[in-house]
Structure 1
Amino acid sequence: MTTEATKSTQVHPNGITALPTAQTAPETAAPAVAEAAPEVAPVKRKRDPRVLALQRFAMSISAFTILGHVFFGFEQAPITPIVCLLVGYASAIGFETLDAWAYERQPEYAGGARALGVFLLPAHIGALACAMLLYGNSSLWPYLFAVVVGNASKYVVRLRIKGRLRHVLNPSNTGIAVTLVVFDWVGISPPYHFTNWLHGTLSWLIPLGILMLGTMLNAGLTKKIPLIAAWVGGFVLQALVRWLVLDHALVGALLPMTGVAFILFTNYMITDPGSTPTARRGQVVFGLTAAAIYGVLVSLGIVFGLFFALVITCLLRGGVLLVARARGRVPA
């Protein structure tokens, strides 16, 4: 701070001249320069690929269900997917509530609307899969039975892996397989069902679109391309073996691969992240095993081999994990 002296002469009325006085200039505060705090870029939370995959699958199967009943010619009553969804949501929440109470833990759907939405994604996909792939004529009970059995299987058949209980079976596939066994008059949706009202170019463009969409989802999110490749390659191989060894018609053995049901099974069911391996080698073994079991079932004259083969493969994988855990190779 600087003080500036200025001389001034003041004359008083008595005639005495006053001595020069020093005047202090008013202080001027230097402008304060506030240092701007560096901007912190918001931390972008990395989204869980599993949740992203479930969201994409849920949106795609919902769109396909709506289009199927409005434009494609699905055979089930339009009320079927709606009731299956309601029962699927209710049973999933009920089983989770009961399991959380039994193990004294917080339910997975607790934590707000987002947590509830994420929790219900598998139930949503499973319910629509059962409503789409099963055909129970005019009765709703087989569809609802399949949905409840599928959700229950996630809690009945489980293994503790790395400290967490994980389901072994594919829920929707298990529900469908059990329903086919219990209700012998229930079958799978007929092949024409998926493109019943389509003609000409659209009748093959729609399956191609489903194939491309499912392949992109699995390549980008679930990372199950090795499993898909092994399953498709194994399917061709079992057809060749049946043709060479059992004299089965090769074209007939390969024909299921051309249907929409096979595309849906390959891209949306056998690739379930919760019941399939994550390692590439494990995926290849899983896909080849499922194809081999399918070939054996068909050779024995057992129908609906796709669904039964997947159930058996999942159980075999669970047995392998159980033995590995007993030997200390898999953390409990």
Structure 2
Amino acid sequence: MTATVAHPPAGQARRATTAPPAGKPDARYLALRNFALSISVLNIFGYTLLGFEQPWIWPVIAVVIGYAVEIALESLTAWAHRRPPRYLGRGVRGLYEFLLPSHITALAVNMLTYGNDQLLPILFGVVVGVGGKYVLQAPIGGRMRHYMNPSNLGITVTLLCFGSWFSIAPPYQFTEHANTFFRVAVPLIIVTAGTVINGLLTKRVALIVGWLGGFVIQAVIRHFVWDVAVYSALGPMSGVAFVLFTNYMISDPGTTPARPRDQFVFGAGVALVYGVLMVFNVVYTLFFATTIVCGLRGAGWWVAHLARRRRERASTTEAVTA
């Protein structure tokens, strides 16, 4: 449920967005815009019709904090790298596009967590989610890029820090005030919108197939090996929270592979880790599984980078010796 922004190496200036070919719309911008629009509309309907239980002012405060943290950290990074901030130079449109990822992260953290009457943990999650992009980075494709899903990271760290009285949002709030028809219509609308975005813009269909297929397989294995009721193991797939996670969280294009084969492996890997965590009775499993897989992927990029540098140094030494 979040789209993300990569950062260039030190000293290398970069424009806020890469201009698409003439006459062709920017797929990344369209994905960000549609993600932001979808989650904004969902929050509006959630507070007016569906039954969201957090105070209505909280998403507004979360978004403002997300904007402030994004601008402050980008300004600091630009100063350190001696380049102009990425939100300058293109007027209001450039600032609007720059703030779309933090907008998505802030609304996602507020919507998917529940702190009773305590706003501080939610704002903490927003700060961690937005700030993690500037701290947790790895050399990917020749430049430093973040590898942790921002919204998922913010929720995971907040659960670890405030887990004794803080939790994810109760699933019933997404359909609490809806009648029978709308309880069926809500997930169908979310699936349809998510399918359009992931199929046409983010190109993450293979990842979702790997995730859903792996989820079913791990449920069947737990049923036959650990005697878990198969309906209970597959039950989360029928909830709105699972549909949101599948279409808007795990499919984040900025922190998942681009090639279909790698996407499939990533999605299946999250399902595998989910099954292992469930065997050990770990709660909030969806978020922890995604965090672990993203972390392993980032560590893999660092290992590959260090191994490549070691080979280059060895080759240079051999050449000098020769």
Q: TM-score, normalised by structure 1?
A: 0.84
Question: Could you tell me which residue of structure 1 aligns to residue 38 of structure 2?
Answer: 60
The one-letter code matched in structure 1 to 2:143 is R
Query: What is the Cα deviation at residue 323 of structure 1?
Result: 2.3
**Separation of aligned partners in 2, 1:139 and 1:76:** 10
**Separation of aligned partners in 1, 2:194 and 2:297:** 24
The answer to whether the aligner puts 1:276 opposite 2:237 as a matched pair is no
**Separation of aligned partners in 2, 1:267 and 1:275:** 14
**Separation of aligned partners in 2, 1:248 and 1:162:** 42
Residues 145-170 of structure 1, C-alpha deviation per residue, up to 9 Å, x if partnerless? Answer: 00000011101110123342210100
Question: Could you tell me which residue of structure 1 aligns to residue 84 of structure 2?
Answer: 106
Question: Could you tell me which residue of structure 2 aligns to residue 132 of structure 1?
Answer: 111
Question: Could you tell me which residue of structure 1 aligns to residue 280 of structure 2?
Answer: 300
1:303-322 matches, within 5 Å, as 303-322=283-302
The one-letter code matched in structure 1 to 2:225 is V
Query: What is the Cα deviation at residue 307 of structure 1?
Result: 0.3
The one-letter code matched in structure 2 to 1:298 is M
Query: What is the Cα deviation at residue 324 of structure 1?
Result: 2.4
- Structure 2: where are the runs of 5+ without partners? 1-20, 313-322
**Match 2:214 to one of 212, 234, 239:** 234
The answer to whether the aligner puts 1:83 opposite 2:64 as a matched pair is no
Aligned to 1:201, the other structure's residue is in SS state helix
Query: What is the Cα deviation at residue 319 of structure 1?
Result: 1.8
**Separation of aligned partners in 2, 1:326 and 1:160:** 10
Residues 285-324 of structure 1, C-alpha deviation per residue, up to 9 Å, x if partnerless? Answer: 1001100001111110110000000000001111222222
Query: What is the Cα deviation at residue 328 of structure 1?
Result: 3.5
The one-letter code matched in structure 1 to 2:140 is I
Structure 1 consecutive aligned stretches of length 4 or more whose deviation exceeds 6 Å: none
**Match 1:225 to one of 197, 205, 209:** 205
Q: Say which is worse superposed, 275-284 or 103-112, in terms of deviation.
A: 103-112
**Separation of aligned partners in 2, 1:318 and 1:149:** 17
**Match 1:47 to one of 12, 25, 37:** 25
**Separation of aligned partners in 2, 1:162 and 1:280:** 17
**Match 2:180 to one of 200, 214, 227:** 200
Query: What is the Cα deviation at residue 99 of structure 1?
Result: 1.1
**Separation of aligned partners in 1, 2:159 and 2:141:** 34
**Separation of aligned partners in 1, 2:277 and 2:260:** 26
**Separation of aligned partners in 2, 1:67 and 1:174:** 26
Q: TM-score, normalised by structure 2?
A: 0.87
Question: Could you tell me which residue of structure 1 aligns to residue 239 of structure 2?
Answer: 259
The one-letter code matched in structure 2 to 1:122 is P
**Separation of aligned partners in 2, 1:162 and 1:181:** 32
Residues 96-133 of structure 1, C-alpha deviation per residue, up to 9 Å, x if partnerless? Answer: 11111111122111112111111100000000001100
Query: What is the Cα deviation at residue 233 of structure 1?
Result: 0.5
**Separation of aligned partners in 2, 1:54 and 1:107:** 20
The one-letter code matched in structure 2 to 1:314 is C
Query: What is the Cα deviation at residue 327 of structure 1?
Result: 3.8
**Separation of aligned partners in 1, 2:279 and 2:216:** 15
Q: For this pair of structures, how many residues does the alignment match?
A: 288
The answer to whether the aligner puts 1:145 opposite 2:124 as a matched pair is yes
**Separation of aligned partners in 1, 2:250 and 2:28:** 15
More relative contact order in 1 or in 2 (CA 8 Å, sep 6+)?
A: 2
Determine what percentage of the aligned residue pairs are the same residue: 51
**Separation of aligned partners in 2, 1:205 and 1:239:** 26
Contact 2:139 2:301 in 1 (8 A): no
**Separation of aligned partners in 2, 1:105 and 1:305:** 40
**Separation of aligned partners in 2, 1:227 and 1:211:** 15
**Separation of aligned partners in 2, 1:285 and 1:88:** 32
Q: Say which is worse superposed, 221-230 or 103-112, in terms of deviation.
A: 103-112
- Structure 1: where are the runs of 5+ without partners? 1-42
**Separation of aligned partners in 2, 1:262 and 1:328:** 39
The one-letter code matched in structure 1 to 2:247 is N
**Separation of aligned partners in 2, 1:251 and 1:274:** 34
The answer to whether the aligner puts 1:71 opposite 2:49 as a matched pair is yes
> Between Structure 1 and Structure 2, whose CA radius of gyration is higher?
1
**Separation of aligned partners in 2, 1:266 and 1:109:** 30
Aligned to 1:281, the other structure's residue is in SS state helix
Contact 2:139 2:305 in 1 (8 A): no
Aligned to 2:275, the other structure's residue is in SS state helix
